[in-house]
Structure 1
């Protein structure tokens, strides 16, 4: 198996024409060494395969992969809610004006957006129970899952009214999207530099791993007895599906221009309007 020395989104487009996905919910991550495309599937019937976790050191390509998945979800007619807990909040800043993309990076905006997410999911659940699930797919893209959980908890400690719930309602909403979002067409894609707790980790059926220690591979890998060699090349990942197998994958560079061009493929006149009547807040 060999990988291209320089791999672009244009290369991925050509490969996708050669290897078309079988599902309308398929999202391309990158290219395997044999030139085939590695996909995740938002509509997969396997448990938790719609949620994607990316774990790697800084600079290894997590944000780049997150942007690529988000761009494809927008092009497929869905919407993307980005919560970026990093100080810069720069991962989507230059494309934050894209239709159906909501972006927040300050903790006050993140708290407000995730609170609105709870209302959105409640409306979707009511529609599903009534047999009229008319809504567009929603992707919650989380930058820095490990840091975000801590920031939301601290923020709520400052806001919590007397007699209010101990757990942040924004954190509860994120947990709800992760644990119960599948039937509501809500999925979570998240980046982190360290593995989350076991209860959260198990909700990600697909994991995209950069350089890992042996302990990290044991926690996040697919149960293979031997940890594969981890390349130090930016964008070179192992995509792990459940506990079945791992595929070494090269992810293309998703520039701002590439994200915009891909997202612009979205079908006009979206057939699935939001159900919730709430305003998604000042981002």
Structure 2
């Protein structure tokens, strides 16, 4: 074990085991602290600030992951880094993934792509799958919804295609925000032009994180926004399928 491995540290919020929602199989999901965006529908406002996370070394994280190594492998799963935003801590993320690959574990990076430029080619070489959250394909809506710019995410998506890194797209469907037919079709056309998009997950907006906002004493911006009905979800999935994409 070299000195770098011993000294790389990050700040983490928590970890959990999940099946079917954070990549293939059963996953060890590590939530990193800190995020540059402020999505109005965010379900985890408790991960926004790095200062609220606890410090951890890569060795500590790997010791936890190794406890589940055999189970994860048998279950066809692996390790997913999410947040917050894992690319806010690129060196830590890269080292965890490098160590996971040494153990033969499948790796998945859950990211908005907003900080995609921080992901080195070496990090992406150790990434088996990217779960790319594209919040909106309309530039103005993206800004209002997240506080950030859309362009870095699209640039990152194109780079992943050029590198041949498999991608699952995540698209949160929020009535009045991300259901515009033209914007959905524009995103579908963009994704259809890439060769590495294995699936598109249309995720209905929910309010399960509202209690966290209350506990933190901050307003939940979309508290009065309705959740999408089945017809709307089916329509949007149908639009992606119409572009030849595997939408779920």
TM-score of Structure 1 vs Structure 2, range by shorter chain: 0.3 to 0.5
**More helix, by proportion:** 2
The higher-RCO structure (CA 8 Å, 6+ apart) is: 1
Normalising by structure 2, report the TM-score. Answer: 0.38
Normalising by structure 1, report the TM-score. Answer: 0.35
